[in-house]
Structure 1
C-alpha cells in the first residue's frame, strides 16, 4: 500500500527565491534523522521547532516560508503535528492485524534492498539491561528499536517519523506489558 503526502493549495501565492510564483506545495514526509537535526537547530522554543519542521515538510527556504499567510502556515503546522505524533496506521488508514508486522509509510533502503515492512521481535532481557545502561532516552530508544527490528542504528535515521512512532508504540508494549497482554491479543 502506497502513501503520498498531500498537496497544500496556498490561499495566497508566494514568490519563490528564483522569482517564480508558488501557488501550491507538495508536502513531504518527515524523516527521523532530519527531524532530530531540525529540532536540535531550533532549540527549546516551540515556535522555532515548528518553523524548522515546516521547512522540512515544504522544502521552502526561510525567505519563502516567511511569506506565507498565517492560515497557510497553520495548515502546514497541523500537517507537521500529525506527521510528528501519529503512527503509520493513521496515514495508511489501516488497522494493524498483526501489530508485530509493521507496514512502513515510506520504504527504506537497507543493505541495497527496499524494505516496506518490519517484523518486530520482543526484546530479550539481556538487551533491556544493556539499554538501561545508556545515558539518554534517545540512545535507549534507538538501541532497543534496532534490537527489536533487526535494523542497524544508522538505518533508523531512514524511517519516517510516523514509522518511528508506530514502532515505539509496540516496543513500549514489549517493555511494559505482562505476558497475559500478549496472550489475550493473539487469541482473538
Structure 2
C-alpha cells in the first residue's frame, strides 16, 4: 500500500503555505510548497507526490488550468482544490477536470486530510446550508459561465435587465473583497 505522506502544496499565499506546511509536518506529512504554475511543474517533474492541495486562484492564474497538467504528469495524483471564493460552477469544473474534492477556505488540517480520505465531517464541521442570496449567486455564476462571461447574454438567459445583473455582480464583488 502506498503511503499518502508526500504532498504538493500550490498556493500564491506565502503565509498560508508556511502554516499549512508546518501543520502537515506535525501530522507526519512531508509537503513541498510552490507558488505558481511553473514552480508546481518543476516540483512534480523532480519528485513523486501522492496528494496535491491546489489553490483555485494563483496570482491571477486559474488553478483549474494547472489541474490537467498535474494529472498528465502524475496520473495517480489525488488533487484537492481549495478556494476562498467557492461556487458550485467551479466545484463542478474542478471535479470534471480530475479533482477528488473541493473545499472552501478557511480549512483546518483535519478537514483537509478528511477531504482526501472522504471522511464524513463531524456535525459541528458541516457547513450551514446556503442562503437564498448565495444560491442566487451560484445560479448567476453558472449561467454566466455557460455564456462565457457575456453579461448581456447572461441577463437575457436569466430574464433580467442587464443593468440589474451588472449591479448584482458589482455588489457581490465588493462584498467578497
> Is TM more than 0.5 here?
no
Higher-RCO chain (CA-CA 8 Å, sequence separation at least 6): 1
Structure with max Cα Rg: 1
Question: TM-score with structure 2 length normalisation?
Answer: 0.29
